[in-house]
Amino acid sequence: MKNTLTSLAIAATVLTTATTTAANAAEKLLLKTPIAFSTALPGLGSPIPRVAEQLDLMSGGTLRMKVYEPGKLVPPFEILDAVSSGKINSGYTTAGYWAGKIPAAPLFSAVPFGPEAGEYMAWLYYGNGLTLYQEMYDQAGYNVKVIPCAVIAPETSGWFNKEINSPEDLNGLKMRFFGLGGKVMQRLGVATSLLPGGEIFPALEKGAIDATEFSMPAIDARLGFHKLVKFNYFPGWHQQATVFELLLNKDVWNEATPQHQAIIENACKASMTDSFAEGEAIQYAALLDNVDNNGVTIKTWSDEMLATFRENWEAVAQEEAANDAFFAKVLTDLTTFRDGYAIWKENAFLPRK
């Protein structure tokens, strides 16, 4: 009898250990995360390694993220499809890259003459932004969970090899341009292309493009545009703020523990603050360096040029809304939110001039 009880106790211990081990294994999650932007680009690619570090720390090692530099696992423009299909379980990118697949996607990345970072986050978190963001991917048939995971303030409006003094000076240019702003430039006679960051300098060097926009001064400095084109224009009317997304395969997300889900969401929310602060802290030094050491001329768009850009953006917005019902739905919601926010903005903030 004693031997039988001992055997049963051993069996129970083994079963309990096996069950516990299986449960612990089920609660461990490794996110293999290809990214669209090099981690060497401050404020653009640099946030995601910090997110990875925080996931590990906050979860006690049960939730980890392995970051893959652009093109090392999946090309930047293939991340959405790869995450949706389950080829990879996560990816870090920006919705503006999916304009050719989902017309409304750029509205969740950067909007010409659109919200600044604070207003954008207000709409996402406390308006209907996040609900519409997820609805967009669901409606388009993508099996992904989307979480905003970084945001930066205004970008430069572009790098040119000559001064642009009138709309006519843009006609015939070949230019790398992002998102809905690219459609505005097309209306002004610019032949636009959307290139990943690492391909822009070679394209400028070979003459495949005459001009480019990419990001903020400190980010553009890492890519060396100032070596080839010397006129840098402001303000960045096309991207007053840009949001970046963490995409997770929805099956993986649904199977994750509530704790892991909360850690991911809150790590990304913290990253929104961190990325914004990092971007704001490092731009002035890059601007000074461009002028003092790199021979760059900083230019400000005239009122005429800004009016031209705005007029053409409004035409693009109407065309896109007429062609896609969901684009119209999101634009209407964002515009309604902004109309209300304007009452606060106009009364609360000091004028910039």
Domains and CATH numbers, the chain: 28-152+240-281 (3.40.190.170), 158-238+284-348 (3.40.190.10)
**pLDDT of 289 higher than 60:** yes
Q: Give me the pLDDT at residue 352, please.
A: 81
Residue 270 pLDDT exceeds 60: yes
Whole-number pLDDT of residue 20 = 35
pTM: 0.91
The whole-number pLDDT of residue 341 equals 98
* pLDDT at residue 12, rounded to an integer: 40
4 pLDDT exceeds 90?
no
Find the mean pLDDT for residues 111-140.
Answer: 98
The whole-number pLDDT of residue 28 equals: 96
Q: Are 149 and 167 in contact (CB under 8 A)?
A: no
Ramachandran assignment for 232, one of left (phi > 0), alpha (psi -120 to 50 degrees), beta (any other): beta
DSSP secondary structure of 192-224: EE---HHHHHHHHHHTS-SEE--S-HHHHHHHT
Determine the angle formed by the axes of helices 129-139 and 117-126, rounding to 10 degrees. 70
| CA within 13 Å, CB half, 56 | 12
Q: Give residue for tokens 């021979």.
A: 295
Asked if residue 171 has pLDDT above 90, the reply is: yes
What integer is the mean pLDDT of 124-146? 98
Is it the case that residue 302 has pLDDT exceeding 50? Answer: yes
Residue bearing the bigger pLDDT, 15 or 314: 314
pLDDT digits (tens, 9 = 90+) for 183-213: 999 999 999 999 999 999 999 999 999 999 9
Contacts of residue 110, Cβ cutoff 8 Å, sequence gap at least 6:
96, 178, 179, 180, 181, 238, 239, 240, 241, 242, 243
Cα angle, residue 35 at apex, residues 233 and 158 outer, rounded to 5° = 5
What whole-number distance in Å separates Cα of residue 327 and Cα of residue 335?
A: 12
* CA pair distance 286, 168, nearest whole angstrom: 30
Radius of gyration of the chain (CA): 23
**DSSP annotation string for 309-339:** HHHHHHHHHHHHHHH-HHHHHHHHHHHHHHH
Phi-psi region for residue 42, left (φ > 0), alpha (ψ -120 to 50) or beta?
beta
H or E element in which residue 261 lies: helix 258-293
Query: One-letter amino acid identity for 204?
Result: L
Q: Give the amino acid at 117.
A: A
Mean pLDDT value of segment 146-152: 98
Could you give the C-alpha distances from 97 to 45, 82, 121, 185, 316, in angstroms and in order? Answer: 15, 14, 20, 17, 18
Residue bearing the bigger pLDDT, 23 or 57: 57
Q: Distance between CA atoms of 272 and 254, rounded to whole angstroms?
A: 23
Strands in the chain per DSSP E: 29-34, 63-68, 90-93, 144-152, 158-160, 174-176, 191-193, 211-212, 231-234, 242-249, 297-300
Contact at 8 Å (CB) between 229 and 204? yes
278 bridge partner residues: none
Q: Are 270 and 54 in contact (CB under 8 A)?
A: yes
As a whole number, mean pLDDT of residues 72-86 equals 97
Place of tokens 């609660």: 27
Q: What strand order describes the sheet that includes 242-249? A: 90-93, 242-249, 144-152
Q: What is the mean pLDDT of residues 151-170?
A: 96
Residue 191, SS3? strand
| Tens-digit pLDDT profile for residues 220-261 | 999 999 999 999 999 999 999 999 999 999 999 999 999 999
State the average pLDDT over residues 64-74: 97
Average pLDDT, the chain: 93
As a whole-number percent, the residues of the chain with pLDDT over 90 amount to 91
Residue 321 has pLDDT above 70, yes or no: yes
